[in-house]
Structure 1
């Protein structure tokens, strides 16, 4: 029976809370399978989740590979836990690979989870390897094999896999609470949101536009970025706030070289007010220390002083190339390079203060009706749900099997 083995990551280290983390991980997997177009089943084992169903394995691998919390994804076959069945399946698998790649070397790595199995892990690895050699004439290479055949032996079924795809790792999304990520159109903020997700935060997003003084291009980008990020989590909402008039009020109030810092404080105030409605306990920003003038240590501290919630900066120690490389890996880079009208460039002064202190920024803010301004920004916010159009078929027909239940007996719910 074709299936997929999903190896758990940090969940393995959660101690007495492990069960709660594993349940969150399985729920996120179910969410990732919505709209897949066929029934699926999920089975729990020790530090492993097994996924299968009436869906091509390649599709299962792609969906499961986006779920944060799994360290690796292994396409596999399930066979009865007998010496003969496992050995026959191993020879058949290597014969198919030999037909595609003559002359490959191989190694067998068996792991005996069921201690009642008659052979030890190392002895069974040698037995299977010898049988493959005699049947197919393939050479063994225990150091750097072309194919590594992995055998997981459990009481109610054994799993053979010979391919390994890296997973996302990290903690299951939602296990650490909720956050609201400030999402611009550049490389940094989407990567910061993703890194926050990997630490277990479920993220909603807020995007500030320069409307009515800029066009809608940045909104299209923010929507596309949020949709891409939602592939890694149960879909988060995207809030759009038009900041243009508020930015103009800051400029009229004489912000001058403090304009960028003042409008970032304004963003955090609005995001904090919005977070109360989304049950977010923190804000996430894409700042990298010293990357631009507004991201000096002094300016970050001045911006943070305006926030009611903790401000998380997952990329604070990253350089630009590291951020770009990560953006390519998670699929947001191709969107971030698209042209748009960024609200941060609207009314920006020629020179930005690198040492904006709280008292001088507050002097500018006192010239505005700040509470009313924030209230109006939040009240006029638009809410979108990127990615939901891809799962309109409803939840996938997925059932969870107890470890002792045979996978072949499950039926779609």
Structure 2
């Protein structure tokens, strides 16, 4: 790699106003975390761009890691020069000679952020195009589909040359939109919901309901492994494992079978909301997709939501299963989710759950049961694990959307 830095473009962050500094600070922090093993790098940021000075570090490894950082629209390996024309021409030619292969075509694309520079965009394109044609035999111009697009960015204090735009993951930096509690079941959907929430800047903590001996240690490990995959994207993630056996047994005993799933989901939501309150969260995130199962009809959601005023984020609400599976494969959670270890919802699922439950009926059934002490007990006995990122390298998902 023949570059000395990586130029990062903010994309959506550029639309922010007075609070843009907050978003940029979050992005810089997240990049530092992802690149924590590269001790020599320096990161510089201003309102328009961020630069990673490589200082001899492996730029190719850094590029692979940057592809997965939310808040980056695109980035380019680059070199920097001053604004003296001859120095610029020498730098451009030196870079081009190192990357150009015989028979490849090229074009010049100039962005003149510094409008006071004495040459305009067309003049710069002509000067540098002529310079390269003069010094590299058999080089040809192709302005429509060039093999190499030499990009020249003239800014106030320096000039940057690059030949590649690499798509980033887009979205907003994780942590810039507050914290949400992800109801993580162990299935295919909820990890994808967590991923998409992080893409919009939400810091997540996961909540899992565990019902031993009906659910095994392997089902618990499955959820830990899923949380680790999310941690590889966002940084350390807290996993709250809620003991749920006693509550589920009571529901099965006291609530009519066709309403037991509705009550189960209502109790899960109440417990998650209490954990959210204790951990300063602002929302609850679920993997619900409209109409996918009995608890995900509009009537069910209406009856279940009755227990909280907390915002509930449903990133998958309009997606079909194939779309969700595609994303789960891209973020490497699909195979883990497919492990044949049942969670508490699948173990206790009724034969004929109500698809259009009435809020008044479920309230009536629950009025005969004193759930509050059991909710407090479950919250008090919740096990919290801090899951750290495991892999230094992740598969790229910047081209998912």
The two structures have a TM-score, normalised by structure 2, of: 0.90
Which one scores higher on RCO, CA 8 angstroms, separation ≥ 6?
1
- Work out whether residues 212 and 245 of structure 1, in 8 Å CA contact, stay in contact via their aligned partners in 2: no
Matched residue SS, 1:58: helix
Distance 1:148 1:328, change over 3 A: farther
The answer to whether the 8 A contact 2:232-2:390 is kept is no
* Shift, 1:71, TM fit: 0.5
> Following superposition of structure 1 onto structure 2, how do residues 227-238 of structure 1 map, counting pairs within 5 Å?
227-238=228-239
Q: Secondary structure at the match of 2:140?
A: coil
| Shift of residue 307, structure 1, vs aligned partner | 2.3
- In structure 1, the partner of 2:109 is 109
Contact 2:235 2:388 in 1 (8 A): no
Structure 1 distance, partners of 2:103, 2:339, is 46
Contact kept in structure 1, 2:239 and 2:384, CA below 8 Å: yes
Q: Secondary structure at the match of 1:286?
A: coil
SS in 2 for 1:115: coil
Q: CA RMSD in A?
A: 2.1
Identify the residue that residue 189 of structure 1 maps to in structure 2.
Answer: 190
Unaligned runs of 5+ in 2: 393-401
Tell me how far apart the structure 2 counterparts of residues 356 and 302 of structure 1 sit (CA, whole Å). 7
Whether the aligned pair in 1 keeps the contact of 2:206 and 2:238 (CA below 8 Å) is: yes
User: In 1, distance between residues paired with 2:4 and 2:330?
Assistant: 28
Shift in Å at residue 37 of structure 1? 4.0
Secondary structure in 2 matching 1:385: strand
Q: For residues 378 and 308 of structure 1, do their structure 2 counterparts lie closer, same or farther at Cα, with a shift above 3 Å needed?
A: farther
Question: CA separation of 1:283/1:152 partners in 2, compared to 1, >3 Å: closer, same or farther?
Answer: same
Partner of residue 123, structure 1: 123
SS at match of 1:16: coil
Q: Which residue of 1 aligns with 2:84?
A: 82
Residues 22-57 of structure 1: per-residue CA shift (max 9 Å, x gap): 2222222223233x1423211124421101234211
Report if aligned partners of 2:235, 2:389 keep a CA contact under 8 Å in 1. Answer: no
In the alignment, the residues of structure 1 paired with residue 169 and residue 125 of structure 2 have an alpha-carbon distance, to the nearest angstrom, of 29
- SS for the counterpart of 2:152 is strand
Query: What is the aligned residue count?
Result: 388
Equivalent residue, structure 1, for 2:399? none
Shift of 1:244: 2.6
* Residue pairs, 1:100-249, within 5 angstroms: 102-136=102-136, 137-249=138-250
Name the CA distance, whole Å, in 1 between partners of 2:292 and 2:133: 57
Q: How does the TM-score come out when normalised to structure 1? A: 0.88
Shift of 1:184: 1.9
Conserved 8 A contact 2:184-2:190: yes
Offset of 1:128 from its aligned partner? 1.5
CA shift for structure 1 position 8: 0.2
